[in-house]
Structure 1
């Protein structure tokens, strides 16, 4: 299902936002569109995606269009790339926001979140998340496939369109859980931070080893994170891939952005920032001045370290 907006003028920037129907993604779409960017809002579910676009149009933002996208489905990715090529012939901004948390919670914990977190400070809320999260193998595999490989495959498919832009930007929505300090193995930390030598093939090997250790119950023994482990490792790998991409394509601006601990469905409503505040930290990176930094990690809108 696609919206019916006319092709924008040649100098109009075109953006794609993955996972744009709710939470941070929806707010990123709203804020980009409010800045004069034509936004392609993508979501897995066509009904929810179309409803999100209608909501934005109700706010007076007419240059927003919906296109279905499941980032783990190659045919869905190809369909989006084909649409963008035909409709716009280029892409200026790609915000890779779609992600999963790699954990599960008991069903009853999904209700009355506001009551559960009322009066709790930031650290107490994080502790609640860590205490109640369960990490089955299938959720870990889905997390790696979505957060790393899904993001990578979308990016690769849209690279030709990004290279057709005069100043293209890729913003990979990251997390402080993707920082290398969460990985106990000094060898793994060193490899992930050695961007001059790191390859995508080596990243594949490391992720395969992580999943093997996860299934064998050897995470702690081999220096992997033990809480939100797949989410942390997947985001750390995505950060490393972003830096590889920035090195390989110096004409692009490829950066990672941690929005902060945001109150969304993924955080079970425990976050301390609103989606609007979190999205602002992402949009700031997407709209950096021409010729800005690349291969950089931003935390809450400011340059920070990939390590800690």
Structure 2
């Protein structure tokens, strides 16, 4: 009788996952049987979120301190993943900040606010992804998902008849998501030969703390998270270098 090798545990890291859509992404990936590292800037909140998910579903969810704007934190997180698991199969770059909306108007923007937003939403993604690529390359089916926003679509933002035409102009958050979309294409091009698929996920407008200034939202964080989870679990023939929402591709 030939012994069979037990299936290898799939490991996923989700940044900014102690609340909102990030937490729902972590929960849904864990529900699929993955070991999930719940990244959080605040260790206490990360521990509380991970414990709650484990208690609710008996899931393999572990907190990991990860401040995407702190190089020492990013390096420590990558070392932890390597030492504990040796490989990373899924990276979801979810951490993001809105910044002070009042300081983002085109004519009165404060550069310190713009820099702060880009530090998390763009430079933080570069920092984390760079640190995790060596571990993703060890995976037989590495996946990277960047959580973006429809606001980052130049095509949608430029449509005078579209929904986003009614949103206030922003020179920080909105351009940061456009830059994130461009990064997605660049990473997809770099990693395609290695079988790693890289895509951007637009969760859509969901009722979370992030969108508390938008009235009447009924779409849940769990519904928004499902978009990222689908991209995190694509088969080998799946797309790469695209932006996708609930109903399919979104124009750049």
TM-score clears 0.5: yes
Alpha carbons of 1:231 and 1:104: their partners in 2 closer, same or farther (altered >3 Å)? Answer: closer
Q: Any conservation in 1 of the 2:151–2:157 contact (CA below 8 Å)?
A: no
Among 24, 34, 59, the residue aligned to 1:27? 24
- Separation (CA, whole Å) in 2 of partners of 1:69 and 1:23: 17
Match in the other structure for 1:252: 196
Alpha carbons of 1:144 and 1:226: their partners in 2 closer, same or farther (altered >3 Å)? Answer: farther
Q: What SS does the corresponding residue of 1:282 show, helix, strand or coil?
A: helix
Q: What SS does the corresponding residue of 1:21 show, helix, strand or coil?
A: coil
| 1:159 correspondence with 2:101 | no
**Deviation string for 1:12-33 (max 9, x for gaps)?**
2100000000000000010000
Q: Any conservation in 2 of the 1:176–1:258 contact (CA below 8 Å)?
A: yes
Root-mean-square deviation (Å): 2.2
Q: Any conservation in 1 of the 2:89–2:142 contact (CA below 8 Å)?
A: yes
Match in the other structure for 1:66: 63
- Separation (CA, whole Å) in 2 of partners of 1:145 and 1:301: 30
The alignment covers a number of residue pairs equal to 233
| 1:277 correspondence with 2:207 | no
Tell me the TM-score normalised to structure 1 length.
0.71
- Separation (CA, whole Å) in 2 of partners of 1:137 and 1:268: 24
Alpha carbons of 1:182 and 1:292: their partners in 2 closer, same or farther (altered >3 Å)? Answer: closer
Match in the other structure for 1:237: 179
Among 210, 217, 233, the residue aligned to 1:266? 210
Among 119, 130, 145, the residue aligned to 1:145? 119
Q: Any conservation in 2 of the 1:72–1:145 contact (CA below 8 Å)?
A: yes
Match in the other structure for 2:3: none
| 1:48 correspondence with 2:12 | no
Match in the other structure for 1:300: 246
Match in the other structure for 2:149: 175
Match in the other structure for 1:81: 78
Q: Any stretches of 5+ residues in structure 1 without a counterpart?
A: 1-8, 106-129, 185-224
Q: What SS does the corresponding residue of 2:99 show, helix, strand or coil?
A: coil
Match in the other structure for 2:164: none
Tell me the TM-score normalised to structure 2 length.
0.86
Of 56-65 and 35-44, deviating more is 56-65
Q: Any conservation in 2 of the 1:34–1:61 contact (CA below 8 Å)?
A: no
Task: Report the CA distance between 1:47 and its aligned residue.
Answer: 0.7
Task: Report the CA distance between 1:61 and its aligned residue.
Answer: 2.8
Alpha carbons of 1:58 and 1:236: their partners in 2 closer, same or farther (altered >3 Å)? Answer: same
Alpha carbons of 1:153 and 1:299: their partners in 2 closer, same or farther (altered >3 Å)? Answer: same
- Separation (CA, whole Å) in 1 of partners of 2:13 and 2:190: 22
- Separation (CA, whole Å) in 2 of partners of 1:301 and 1:287: 17
Task: Report the CA distance between 1:87 and its aligned residue.
Answer: 0.5
Q: Any conservation in 1 of the 2:41–2:65 contact (CA below 8 Å)?
A: yes
- Separation (CA, whole Å) in 1 of partners of 2:146 and 2:58: 24
